């Protein structure tokens, strides 16, 4: 059976299988992408590319119901969240159409001599995108849209469990009028992906996924001197230092942990609470996590659908069981039912336990008690990850101090789930390199060419 298959995690039923690309298919895809870059990518105007991207955004909205249902089947995302993801992918795509002049326009430089100097932004060529299963539309939009706006062309290897959404995305780009080769869905094996990265016609690779996947791709890219952008794992801290609305803070904490059934790289995963708020926070947080409805992802009241696969649920169960065996306290949850896993809370995790450093990719929150701002920052920075972070405090000066000290690519103060197309997304340390979203995304795979005229 092909590695590319739609397996409904709620039922375990295999709904469809898709063939893996042959080596001839891969060669044809690279050749078409290179030809599209050398013609369309170099000769189309920014306005023409913006018009095509707007059509892709429109197609996301027109096909919203169909697209949302696909990812509910593929990876178990609750329907309302799936609909929201399609909307966000449309907004991201439209953002790059709306800001095409800023993305592609010349940047004048002040010089001492006579004449002029500008930085002119030019595409690099063919890019490979390796995308994950947890946000099948959103992840692709934030990689593909800015790079197509520049005139790069895209080979997209989606996660093996997302072949239906991958095909639907490719169809939207074709139906919008992008030329053949500008955007292609290629169902690659890992060995074929390595071959694509090594190919002289391919100029860069972007990966969203695990540390292991990112390291493997970066090694191959480095060997062949290819630009690489990595968005990897995270174990984001949620720091609560003061509040005049504890119920609101708890609600934000739960939302930040349970979004996408807890399967989000930048979800809050470690809850670091000042001593005088700890007991009340833990009680309310535990109650809310326990009350999160687990069930059919197509049902309106479902908060937690299944995890993306049975294997994912089994990995999470093993992590929680190991944490408890090493001395952590299971406050609530922790009982798997097939691919379904309930809202779970752990306390008593210490720095000598595996759980202190690991990422829990599912609805598991670890709560820490701290005695000071300084200890909160120390715990927050005490992992190898550095993606996002959250700080809740009523003290504006404290918010600034803590935000400056956190080792992360993103800090959100007194707010969660506040991503938008204009805001860059990315991390430091083992959470990756580079940025997606916002105008910074269009700086990753671009030739910033100096043109000096006397």
Catalytic positions are 231, 265
Element (H, E) at 65: helix 64-75
Q: Cβ contacts of residue 51 below 8 Å, gap of 6+?
A: 97
Q: Is 159 exposed, middle or buried (0-12, 13-18, 19+ CB in 10 A)?
A: buried
Helices (H), 259-348: 275-291, 310-325
For 379-408, the DSSP string reads: HHT-SS--S--EEE-S-HHHHHHHHHH--S
Burial class (CB in 10 A: 0-12, 13-18, 19+), 324: middle
Greatest pairwise CA separation for the chain in angstroms? 73
How far is the C-alpha of 430 from the C-alpha of 384, rounded, in Å? 6
Backbone angles phi, psi at 49, to 5 degrees: -70, -35
Contacts for 227 with CB less than 8 Å, ≥ 6 apart: 124, 203, 204, 205, 221, 444, 445
The Cα–Cα gap between 363 and 90 comes to 27
Three-state secondary structure call for residue 440: helix
Query: Please, are residues 304 and 261 in contact by the beta-carbon 8 Å criterion?
Result: yes
Q: Extract the tokens encoding 432.
A: 């990756």
CA atoms of 75 and 77, how far apart (whole Å): 6
Q: Is the dihedral of CA 246, 247, 249, 254 positive or negative?
A: positive
370-376 long-range Cβ contacts below 8 angstroms, 24+ apart: 370/272, 370/273, 370/274, 370/275, 371/274, 371/275, 372/274, 373/241, 373/274, 373/398, 373/401, 373/402, 376/239, 376/241, 376/272, 376/274, 376/402
Residues in contact with 248: Cβ distance below 8 Å, sequence separation at least 6, in sequence order: none
């Amino acid at each position: 059976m092909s590695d590319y298959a739609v397996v409904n995690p709620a039922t375990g039923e295999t709904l469809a299988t898709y063939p893996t690309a042959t080596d001839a298919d891969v060669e044809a895809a690279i050749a078409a992408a290179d030809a599209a870059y050398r013609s369309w990518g170099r000769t189309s105007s920014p306005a023409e590319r913006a018009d095509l991207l707007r059509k892709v955004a429109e197609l996301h909205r027109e096909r919203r119901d169909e697209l949302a249902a696909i990812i509910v089947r593929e990876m178990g995302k609750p329907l309302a969240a799936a609909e929201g993801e399609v909307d966000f992918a449309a907004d991201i795509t439209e953002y790059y159409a709306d800001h095409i002049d800023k993305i592609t326009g010349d940047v004048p430089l002040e010089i001492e001599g006579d004449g002029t100097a500008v930085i002119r932004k030019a595409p690099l060529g063919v890019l490979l995108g390796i995308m994950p299963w947890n946000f099948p539309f959103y992840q692709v939009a934030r990689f593909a849209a800015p790079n197509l706006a520049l005139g790069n062309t895209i080979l997209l290897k989606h996660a093996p469990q997302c072949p239906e959404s991958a095909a639907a995305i490719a169809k939207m780009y074709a139906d919008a009028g992008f030329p053949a080769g500008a955007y292609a869905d290629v169902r690659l094996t890992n060995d074929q992906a390595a071959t694509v990265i090594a190919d002289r016609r391919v100029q860069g690779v972007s990966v969203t996924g695990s540390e292991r996947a990112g390291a493997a791709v970066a090694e191959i890219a480095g060997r062949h001197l290819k630009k690489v952008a990595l968005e990897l794992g995270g174990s984001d801290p949620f720091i609560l230092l003061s509040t005049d609305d504890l119920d609101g803070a708890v609600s934000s904490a739960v939302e930040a942990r349970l979004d996408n059934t807890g399967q989000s790289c930048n979800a809050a995963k470690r809850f670091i609470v000042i001593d005088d708020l700890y007991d009340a926070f833990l009680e309310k947080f535990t109650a809310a996590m326990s009350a999160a409805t687990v069930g059919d992802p197509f049902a309106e009241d479902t908060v937690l659908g299944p995890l993306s696969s049975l294997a994912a649920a089994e990995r999470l169960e093993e992590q929680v069981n190991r944490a408890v065996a090493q001395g952590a306290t299971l406050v609530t949850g922790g009982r798997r039912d097939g691919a379904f896993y309930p809202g779970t809370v752990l306390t008593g995790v210490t720095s000598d336990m595996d759980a202190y450093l690991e990422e829990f990719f599912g609805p598991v929150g670890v709560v820490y008690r701290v005695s000071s701002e300084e200890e909160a920052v120390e715990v927050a920075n005490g992992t190898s990850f550095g993606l996002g972070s959250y700080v809740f405090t009523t003290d504006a000066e404290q918010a600034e101090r803590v935000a400056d000290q956190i080792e992360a690519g993103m800090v959100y103060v007194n707010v969660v789930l506040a991503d938008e197309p204009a805001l860059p997304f990315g991390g430091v340390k083992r959470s990756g390199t580079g940025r997606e979203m916002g105008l910074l995304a269009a700086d990753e795979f671009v030739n910033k060419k100096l043109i000096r005229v006397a």
